[in-house]
Structure formats: C-alpha cells, structure tokens
Amino acid sequence: MVTNLRNFRNKLIHELKEVFPHEMDKYASLNKIEDLIKNN
C-alpha cells in the first residue's frame, strides 16, 4: 500500500516536472532533504 502511494507520488512528480521544470527542481531538492531526514 505504501509502495503504491510512493509510486503514484513519484509518477505525479515526474509529470509535473515536465510541465513546470523550474518549480519542480525546487520541490525535488526539498523532497531529497526530507528523504534524508527520514532515512537517518
């Protein structure tokens, strides 16, 4: 279930990146920081 949500979110982010590349770059870097915090 969690994996499905994560895959869905990643697909959504990927599609948004194609439409709004610059905004999504900012979002992606925030997301990486968030993941680092979660993983450590």
Three-state SS sequence of 1-40: CHHHHHHHHHHHHHHHHHHCHHHHHHHHHHHHHHHHHHHC
Residue 24: per-residue pLDDT = 67
Residue 8: per-residue pLDDT = 92
Question: How close are the terminal C-alpha atoms of the chain, in Å?
Answer: 23
Residue 25: per-residue pLDDT = 75
Most distant CA pair in the chain, distance:
32
Read off the pTM: 0.45
Q: What is the pLDDT of residues 1-40, one digit of tens each?
A: 678 988 998 898 888 878 887 776 777 787 787 888 888 6
Per-domain residue ranges of the chain: 3-39
